[in-house]
Structure 1
């Protein structure tokens, strides 16, 4: 911890420093506050990314339509050798 952070609390006597326990307690509070904030962000992001049932059906239909297109199938054929080599590499190397 830096010297600037160790002088946060005003002391009645200038020769008395902040105890290690007090500094650790403040750090724990800061970490707890940070965790609570991050948990709230995760909740907000999860709520924003959820699709309604009708939106999910529309997305699945759009994906199925895309996968059935000639361009998708041609791309899968063109990239087949690369995908096969990746699978072989994973199995051989670990």
Structure 2
């Protein structure tokens, strides 16, 4: 964060000025506040993506049943030529 893009509260008041120590302390408090906010955001994102073991087993079971269905297997057979061409294209062209 630059001082130009995020002015200090004391810059609005010409009668008050901060000492270098106070400016350093204010900067540290701003960084601490930012770190705490980022930690909270990280915890929220991690909690949103976690599945319970029961949910994970259910998802895996659903995926396995989908892949064993006739529709899935027929789709794989129909798209086989396209997948082969893509594979060869990646191998030949790099």
Query: Structure 1-normalised TM-score?
Result: 0.61
Q: What is residue 72 of structure 1 aligned with on the other side?
A: 72
For residues 90 and 32 of structure 1, the distance between their equivalents in structure 2, rounded to whole angstroms, comes to 48
CA RMSD of aligned residues (A): 3.2
Aligned residues between the structures:
86
For residues 87 and 29 of structure 2, the distance between their equivalents in structure 1, rounded to whole angstroms, comes to 48
> Structure 2 stretches of 5 or more lacking a match?
17-22
Provide, for residues 10-43 of structure 1, a one-character-per-residue CA deviation record: whole Å limited to 9, x for no partner: 2239xxxxxxxx6xx85x8767645543442232
> Structure 1 stretches of 5 or more lacking a match?
14-21
Query: Structure 2-normalised TM-score?
Result: 0.61
After TM superposition, list the pairs within 5 Å mapping 1:5-84 onto structure 2: 5=7, 9=10, 10-12=13-15, 33-34=33-34, 36-84=36-84
Which has the bigger relative contact order, CA under 8 A and spacing at least 6?
1
For residues 33 and 64 of structure 2, the distance between their equivalents in structure 1, rounded to whole angstroms, comes to 44
